[in-house]
Amino acid sequence: MNTFMKLLIAEMGQDQTKQQIEKGLRLYQCNKTDKALQVWAKVLEKTSDPGGKFRVLGCLITAHSEMGKYKEMLKYALAQIDTAREMEDPDYLTEGYLNLARSNEKLCDFQKTISYCKTCLNMQGTTVSLQLNGQVCLSMGNAFLGLSIFQKALESYEKALRYAHNNDDKMLECRVCCSLGNFYIQLKDYEKALFFPCKAAELVNDYGKGWSLKYRAMSQYHMAVAYRKLERLPDAMECCEVLLRFPQSEGCLPMESMKIALQHGDRPLQALCLLNFADIHRCRNDIEKAFPRYESSMCIMTEIGNRLGQASVYLGVGKGWLQQKELDKALESLQRVQDLAEGVGNKLFSLKVHCLSERIYRSQKREDELREQVVKFLQCVEELELYCGMCGESIGEKNQQLQALPCSHIFHLKCLQSSGPRDCAKCRRASLKPGFV
């Protein structure tokens, strides 16, 4: 059970409603999710106490989020806002908007996520805002990352981390570390991409006895991705052994997080694990094993409405066809990635599509198409500002160590080290004095 739900309970006023919500939570903890949902639905139907109604909606939101039923999650979040408005309570309203932001984040509606997060941050001075601000910043960071706005994503994650430290909120810190792992995977600093989920796993080990298993599985999953990128499978398994104390066999690393995911009906994580599994097989040139796993992953991604997840699957499939020299099929998959990326507003996927399409058209000597892809590729690089402000070379093209300044602009670590302390080359803010005008 997460602290969020514990808070819900602590604040319950009306006994009857409270008892029923608690009954649902007990069922939920024993993995009797369907029964828990029935109990909560009944409370929602019967209770006349707006506080109780708000709380039971909170339970329904968390449960549906964990199951990957994001459209239902959004529906309950909207109902929560209505209830909060009725009560004219800014604390409830802030919490409602956070849930609305999160629902939209899960549905890859990132512009909406950012705007609801801003609404939350603007309602400062409410009692709960200090506890929730960190979560708001995390959600905002995830949304910026979804839009490939890297500097703002990093800025939000850093704020979220600061709130986590100030409130001694280890669970939030763990979640931010996982997001930072994803951030550095995208920018291809694989050392940091591994460091952060390892840190998250450490937090789970040190503080997570009473936490949902989801946190362990999440850190495990992000470590698995980083190890795959680093092509360090034996290390991955050794680390797994220490963390999970399960007997190991080859290829079981993503299996373990998948087992946990399966146990708890965590469809979103299950889909990601299947995808990582498929990618590992593809990296080993075992396309026969990769494709069915891509397919299973795609089924779940589609079902839950994770469009970025779908784009990742199609990208993997495209690369698989490319390995098989099936260029037309590869192009077809890449087109789907491009459609999804445009729909969501994710520039990094577009960039990858143009880069791969360029390679294909070049080999086919299709000059017109090739030229178009080159132009689009360069546009993406420009828009994403994926270059180091010091040496002018690209960032995120290959595995390289990166470092951010206090303004959250990102450079090659080696360029910062060789130049010593100076103003940020991108925004001209002094790297040592954040308040410099």
Question: Which of these segments, 168-176, 185-193, 214-222, 422-430, binds Zn ion (CB under 5 A)?
Answer: 422-430
Residue type, 32: K
- Cβ at position 350, least distance to Zn ion in Å: 24
Q: Is 409 in the site for Zn ion (CB under 5 A)?
A: yes
Question: Which of these segments, 31-39, 98-106, 222-230, 420-428, binds Zn ion (CB under 5 A)?
Answer: 420-428
- Cβ at position 389, least distance to Zn ion in Å: 8
Instruction: Check: CB of residue 243 under 8 Å from CB of residue 258.
Output: no
Report the 10 Å Cβ neighbour count for 365: 7
Helix (H/G/I), strand (E/B), else coil: 300: helix
Question: Which of these segments, 24-32, 66-74, 251-259, 402-410, binds Zn ion (CB under 5 A)?
Answer: 402-410
Helix (H/G/I), strand (E/B), else coil: 411: strand
Q: Using the rule CB under 5 A, which residue among 59, 93, 317, 407 binds Zn ion?
A: 407
Q: Using the rule CB under 5 A, which residue among 233, 255, 391, 413 binds Zn ion?
A: 391
- Cβ at position 377, least distance to Zn ion in Å: 20
Smaller CB separation from Zn ion, 234 or 434: 434
- Cβ at position 150, least distance to Zn ion in Å: 12
- Cβ at position 80, least distance to Zn ion in Å: 38
Question: How many Å separate Cα 21 from the centre of its chain?
Answer: 29
- Cβ at position 347, least distance to Zn ion in Å: 20
Smaller CB separation from Zn ion, 193 or 425: 425
Whole-number CA gyration radius for the chain: 23
Smaller CB separation from Zn ion, 176 or 424: 424
Token pair recorded at residue 358: 């360029």
Question: Which of these segments, 68-76, 120-128, 282-290, 404-412, binds Zn ion (CB under 5 A)?
Answer: 404-412
Smaller CB separation from Zn ion, 313 or 402: 402
Query: Cα–Cα distance between 14 and 66 in angstroms, integer?
Result: 27
Instruction: Check: CB of residue 410 under 8 Å from CB of residue 403.
Output: yes
Smaller CB separation from Zn ion, 278 or 416: 416
Exposure on the CB side of residue 317, measured as CA atoms within 13 A: 24
Helix (H/G/I), strand (E/B), else coil: 423: strand
- Cβ at position 413, least distance to Zn ion in Å: 9
Exposure on the CB side of residue 289, measured as CA atoms within 13 A: 13
Alpha helices in 107-207 (DSSP H): 110-122, 129-146, 150-166, 170-186, 190-207
Q: How many residues bind Zn ion (CB under 5 A)?
A: 10
Nearest Cα neighbor of 20 from 63, 50, 55 is 55
Query: Cα–Cα distance between 426 and 57 in angstroms, integer?
Result: 45
Query: Cα–Cα distance between 351 and 349 in angstroms, integer?
Result: 5
Q: Is 415 in the site for Zn ion (CB under 5 A)?
A: yes
The contacts of residue 177 (CB under 8 Å, 6+ apart) are 196, 197, 199, 200, 203, 219
Q: Using the rule CB under 5 A, which residue among 427, 433, 434, 436 binds Zn ion?
A: 427
Report the 10 Å Cβ neighbour count for 359: 15
- Cβ at position 423, least distance to Zn ion in Å: 8
Report the 10 Å Cβ neighbour count for 402: 20
Q: Using the rule CB under 5 A, which residue among 273, 275, 388, 402 binds Zn ion?
A: 388
Smaller CB separation from Zn ion, 253 or 402: 402
Query: Cα–Cα distance between 36 and 63 in angstroms, integer?
Result: 9
DSSP state of 209: G
Smaller CB separation from Zn ion, 85 or 433: 433
Nearest Cα neighbor of 352 from 312, 400, 297 is 312
- Cβ at position 187, least distance to Zn ion in Å: 13
Q: Using the rule CB under 5 A, which residue among 390, 401, 406, 413 binds Zn ion?
A: 390
Site string for Zn ion, 344-383 (x = CB under 5 A): ----------------------------------------
Question: Which of these segments, 209-217, 259-267, 375-383, 424-432, binds Zn ion (CB under 5 A)?
Answer: 424-432
Point out which residues bind Zn ion (CB under 5 A): 388, 390-391, 407, 409, 412, 415, 424, 426-427
